[in-house]
Structure 1
Amino acid sequence: MNIKDFMIQDVITATRSTSVKELLELLVNHKIGGVPVVDDENNLQGMISDGDVIRYLQPKGRTVYDMFALVLVSEKEDLMHKLDYAIDHKVENVMSGKDIFTVHPNDELEKALAIFAKHRFKKIPVVNQNYKVVGVVSRGDVIRYISTTLITKADEK
């Protein structure tokens, strides 16, 4: 099984100059958790996820639970101030630009499985030999593909 057999080819992307507000609109409107960051030629520059945005907005030294608890009690203005401040920041300030793992369309499914298992990513960019984004594969895509394959094989018996 190759990555090209189940990757999403209609890729939604952001650029380094996309604002946090525009990114959030993309994520919400498309019901996705992250996107590749590309340049004008569609070369991979990094990845950005909903988790990156949450970590960017999170006050230092606090857990997400603490942040929400404090918001409910006394720091609502602080979070709103941080949101107002960050909403126009660019994706390049928030994205992960190093240690980006990629797969190629002809790679075996096992390569994606190994990356998902070891690094706990939710989405992996699929790039061609020129490092241009040609697709993405998510954990859900892999699970659906495996499940469909197993169900089909079970039905054939």
Structure 2
Amino acid sequence: MKVYDFMIRKVFAVKPTDTIRELLDILNSNRIGGVPVIDDQGHLVGMVSDGDVLRYLSPKPLGIASLVYIIEDGDKEEVLQEKLNTQVKEIMTKRNLLYVSPDEDFERAICLLSKHHVKKLPVVNGAGRVVGVISRGDLIHNISKRLLQPENEVFSLFG
């Protein structure tokens, strides 16, 4: 089995200059937890997840006991509103990006997802463009579907 057998071809993505507000709209309206960040040519430049947003929006501990939080000028809601205007490039993962190619064995995707504890991998073609995504949920769904088939087909799952 290859990655292209499992990947989602309809890719939701954001640009580095999109705001967190725009990102949240995409995540919420499509019920997804993360997206690739692409440039104008569709090349992968980062990944951003709902976890990245939560880490950015959470109060930052200050002091030895970590009991005091920085309260920026204005009330908490104003601070959150301002933070929602931050560009995605400020919170996205840019280094050591994990991805797979469509022609790779799906076992590689399983290994990357499990080893690095990520929920989603972009699928990047030879030209460096994002052509799909593959998530833990996609793999589990497809593996489960195949495991419910007759026993002789189960063994073909891994080659």
TM bucket (normalised to shorter chain) is 0.7 to 0.9
Pick the aligned partner of 2:144 from 139, 144, 147.
147
CA contact (8 A) 1:13 1:36 kept: yes
Other-structure match for 2:38 = 38
Q: Deviations over 1:115-139 (max 9, x none)?
A: 1111110100000012100000010
For structure 2, the residue ranges without an aligned partner over 5 or more in a row are: 63-68, 155-159
Q: How many residues align?
A: 148
State the TM-score, normalizing by the size of structure 2. 0.85
Identity percentage over the alignment? 42
CA contact (8 A) 1:116 1:122 kept: yes
Other-structure match for 1:136 = 133
Aligned counterparts of 1:139 and 1:39: Cα–Cα separation in 2: 25
Aligned counterparts of 1:135 and 1:120: Cα–Cα separation in 2: 19
Cα RMSD, aligned residues only:
2.5
CA contact (8 A) 1:42 1:132 kept: yes
State the TM-score, normalizing by the size of structure 1. 0.86
| CA shift in 2, pair 1:50/1:156, >3 Å | closer
Q: Deviations over 1:96-131 (max 9, x none)?
A: 111110000011111111111111101000000121
Structure 1 stretch displaced more, 7-16 or 81-90? 81-90
Other-structure match for 1:66 = none
CA contact (8 A) 1:57 1:82 kept: no
For structure 1, the residue ranges without an aligned partner over 5 or more in a row are: 63-69, 71-76
What does 1:1-157 align with in structure 2 at a 5 Å threshold? 1-61=1-61, 78-154=75-151
SS of 1:152's partner is coil
Quote the offset at 1:15 in angstroms: 0.1
